[in-house]
Amino acid sequence: MSVLVFVDHTQGSFKKKAFETVNYAAETAKRIGGGDVTAVVLGTVSNEEINQLGQYGATKVLHLNDARFDNFSARAYAKAIAAGVQQAGAKVVIVSYNVSGKAVAGILAAQLKAGLVSGAVDYPQTDNGFVVKKTVFSGKAFAHVKITSDVKIIALVPNTFAPKKGEGAAAAEALNVSLSDADFGITKVAEDVVKGEIPLSEAELVVSGGRGLKGPENWGILEDLGKAFGATLACSRPVADAHWRPHHEHVGQTGGTIRPNLYVAVGISGAIQHLAGVNSSKTIVVINKDPEAPFFKAADYGVVGDAFEVLPKLTEAVNKFKA
């Protein structure tokens, strides 16, 4: 049975989560008895970049090299992916549980009359039907959901698995679908591109600030710690809502989902909606002046103290250790 994976790119280059979804699709194909692993790529991406997908398990790539796809449009993307599903004869469709994946998955499910499990955190089990494990209640619990429809869609939580590179090569084919400008129906008015920093979804080390830092003028002490660690910055939602920090730094249920090796949370209470985005981090360090802060329950290491005293000392210690 053939598996199709929608592979997202950022301005023509694939990030870690793209390779992760291809690996996941390849493992899923094995579990359902083998078959093609077809990657769908939409927009301007070089052949060199596309060739990498074979090394992560794709056996075929359907590429629609149409610059209109360089700006995300859920309707047009879903239409193109649905055409890819028909072309490949795929029975399982994999997308990443990120902004674009979430947006297309629902439309695809309606179009293909397919069962959808969003927020998957493991490979499907096939001993007794087709069962997918997903997080529920903002990551507090898991559910095992059986999909019984002919076509099945899985939206995989990014950073669930570390992508593994192999040796394979994928055959490229054009994706056959015709789209009118009306199918796109979206105009990009602005783009917020973050330069220089490792993006949060890729970062192994993350230093994050909450309302306990009192205001944007105090972010310097967090940035200093971030620099000392070589970490990417994140924040809680109220911090982004108050425009203390840009929205792309917001993590949690309504923000990014991350799984770094180290997550340092400073002045963040640890509300369930925040934990939903970070509680799979390998090591969590919490710095909070309230010993009763709920985040301490999820922490591997905790410092009860005032961030304004603790951070400069911690930064100094990290810098000394590096010297």
Binding residues for FAD, as ranges, are: 211, 236-237, 267-274, 288
Distance, CA of 226 to CA of 7 (rounded, Å): 31
**Shortest spacing between CB 217 and ligand FAD, in angstroms:** 14
At 112, which amino acid appears?
L
Give just the sign of the alpha carbon dihedral 106, 112, 113, 118.
Answer: negative
**Shortest spacing between CB 293 and ligand FAD, in angstroms:** 4
Residues of this chain that interact with ligand FAD (CB under 6 A) are 210-212, 236-239, 250, 252-255, 267-269, 271, 273-274, 277, 287-290, 293, 306-308
Element (H, E) at 310: helix 307-322
Strand partners, 264: 207, 285
CA-to-CA dists, residue 3 to 192, 300, 319, angstroms: 33, 38, 48
Task: Specify the residue, 181 or 217, whose C-beta has the smaller distance to ligand FAD.
Answer: 217
Residue closest to 45 by CA, chosen among 66, 27, 73, 71 = 66
**Shortest spacing between CB 13 and ligand FAD, in angstroms:** 27
Task: Specify the residue, 36 or 249, whose C-beta has the smaller distance to ligand FAD.
Answer: 249
Write down the H helix ranges in 5-128.
Answer: 16-31, 47-55, 74-88, 99-112
**Shortest spacing between CB 52 and ligand FAD, in angstroms:** 32
Tokens of 300: 């591997």
Distance, CA of 307 to CA of 62 (rounded, Å): 51
Task: Specify the residue, 86 or 254, whose C-beta has the smaller distance to ligand FAD.
Answer: 254
Burial 285-304 (b: 16+ CB within 10 A, else e): bbbbeeeebbbbebbeebbe
Contact between 205 and 296 (Cβ < 8 Å): no
**Shortest spacing between CB 252 and ligand FAD, in angstroms:** 2
**Shortest spacing between CB 273 and ligand FAD, in angstroms:** 3
Task: Specify the residue, 77 or 296, whose C-beta has the smaller distance to ligand FAD.
Answer: 296
Task: Specify the residue, 231 or 251, whose C-beta has the smaller distance to ligand FAD.
Answer: 251
Point out the residue whose Cβ comes nearest to ligand FAD: 252
Q: How many CB atoms lie within 10 A of CB 315?
A: 20
**Burial level of 162, CB count in 10 A (0-12/13-18/19+)?**
exposed
Task: Specify the residue, 120 or 307, whose C-beta has the smaller distance to ligand FAD.
Answer: 307
Task: Specify the residue, 21 or 269, whose C-beta has the smaller distance to ligand FAD.
Answer: 269
**Shortest spacing between CB 147 and ligand FAD, in angstroms:** 27
